[in-house]
Amino acid sequence: MIICSLTFCFCSVVNDAKESVTILVVGASGDLAKRKTYPALLALYKASLLPSVTIIWGFARTEMTHYGFRHHLKPFLNDADECVVDQFLSICNYRPGSSYGDWESMDSILKASPSRNLVVYLATPPNVFAQSAAVLKKTLTLTPTNGFVRLVLEKPFGSDTESCETLLRTLNNQEWLEQQLYRIDHYLGKEMVQNILTLRQQNRWLNSLWNKDAVKSVHIICKESFGTDGRGGYFDRYGIIRDIFQNHLLQLLTLVAMDMPEKSCATKLRNAKLEILRKIPVINLEDCLFGQYEGYKDDSSIENRDTVTPTYACIRTWVHNETWRNVPFVLEAGKALNDRLCEIRLHFRGVKNGQPNSLVLRLQPVPTIFLTANVKTPGFSYNPVSARMQVDYGQALMPDAYTRLLLDVFRGKQANFVRDDELLASWKIFTPILNQTEQLNIVPEPYMRGSTGPDKRVEFLRSVGAIPSWSPPPSAL
């Protein structure tokens, strides 16, 4: 096996966010805000990518002063020099409220903010999205900003088609416009995910192979080495399909399968993804393998000791259009597996006496591109041998997904956010299988923590044509 490795260096993007802005983080004392939202804002501050006049307000039910909140937040801001962190914290303020519906507290925040532009990040439990959005809308009516207002929402966006429709209808009734809503799927901010479109657009030879005539199967896999420890109670209400498949994996599928629009504007890109989502049929039970790692039920936060919530799933689906007719798309994800790995694998049709070629786009842990080709065996033999070419991003300095996506919010770029019709179409694909597994009380296959998944996994992957002829380390079958 021959490896050709390249390493790139990346520079920071140029700041074009020139206007002032007020940032309101609702749920600022929570885990998401501390671990993701504020570190991403710090990264933008450190790179001088925030507007020159930026005020950040945190809002939550926890009673704290400005100084108490900064002390509470500082241990999570360790990706910068202490002086930079202190400068960043000086623009961070905090206001407690009696509830997420405390409009008087929100109103006081807006009145104390000099900027006419507002970005609101709802880092709250999903059951209070509608309440927080309604209070914010009321506040903006009383204290208009006269600038842009952008509302950032975190998944989950509902738990099935019906609840998704209810949430969309509620936001619409509150008179939120779609161009004001930024629904985050952080996978869309990952470096390799954003590279998919560039690879397809800028490499004509590759794009010519991007169809059913050349591709035998597509395997999208997301393995996590950690379990649900500490959040089992939350996870048990949703399961692996709602947690990863309906959003992350389905978004990756659309980027692989969609027809490339002539212009890469947000509307055309999201229209192209929507077209693919509407060509995916509902999932059949016989196309699914479900698993649950041993010890999952021992989590003290899980109330139902007989729970059959899957922590692993492998699902085959199709795209019913001329480009991808009869090409299986296999989606696989699980927790407490042997590795932390996320890849998109395109397996090409083989040739006589040669091994099939594969293209692998690795999202994590390190963004990497692998391509296999059949070459002459070195030496006197003329037999073909499979060689692996590798493009490795190595130690390149790249922004994390949340940092990149928040910058898009400030710039008003919506291409990497999920539109309402995309969201609804994705739920329509998975809601029937969710209902069926719950009604039939399908018992998932057990698997050992730290393994590759259920014992039936390899057999299932082989049956749908998803096992590659090779597997780049550290991936394992």
Enumerate the domain spans of the chain: 20-154, 187-399+419-464
Q: How far is it, in rounded angstroms, from Cα 8 to Cα 195? A: 14
Q: Is 248 a catalytic residue?
A: yes
Which tokens go with 469?
A: 């002829």
Which of these is catalytic: 71, 72, 219, 248?
A: 248
Q: What is the pLDDT of residue 231?
A: 84
CB 370 within 8 A of CB 362: yes
User: Does residue 15 have a pLDDT over 50?
Assistant: no
Rg, Å, the chain Cα set: 23
pLDDT at 8: 40
Question: Which CA distances in Å does 171 have to 104, 110, 157, 178, 180?
Answer: 21, 21, 12, 9, 11
Distances (CA, A) of 309 to 312, 336, 380, 447: 9, 14, 56, 13
Q: What is the token pair recorded at 263?
A: 């212009």
> Taking 60 as the threshold, does the pLDDT of residue 47 lie above it?
yes
What's this model's pTM, rounded to 2 decimal places?
Answer: 0.91
Q: Which residues of 377-401 are buried (b: 16+ CB within 10 A; e: fewer)?
A: eeeeeeeeebbbebbbbeeeebbbb
Question: How many CB atoms lie under 10 A from the CB of residue 402?
Answer: 21
Tell me: pLDDT of 403 over 90: yes
Query: 144 falls in which pLDDT band (50, 70, 90)?
Result: confident
When pLDDT is averaged across residues 47-73 and rounded to a whole number, the result is 93
Asked, colleague to colleague, whether 20-154 and 187-399+419-464 share their fold, the answer is: no
Cα angle vertex 226, ends 41, 28, to 5°?
A: 30
pLDDT of res. 142: 67
CA dihedral sign of residues 291, 295, 299, 305: positive
CATH number of 20-154: 3.40.50.720
How much of the chain exceeds pLDDT 70, in percent?
92
CA distance 383 to 399: 44
Residue 396 binned pLDDT confidence (cut-offs 50, 70, 90)? low
Mean pLDDT, to the nearest integer, of 97-108?
82
Distance CA 256, CA 259 (A): 9
The correct answer on CATH 3.30.360.10 for the domain covering 187-399+419-464 is yes
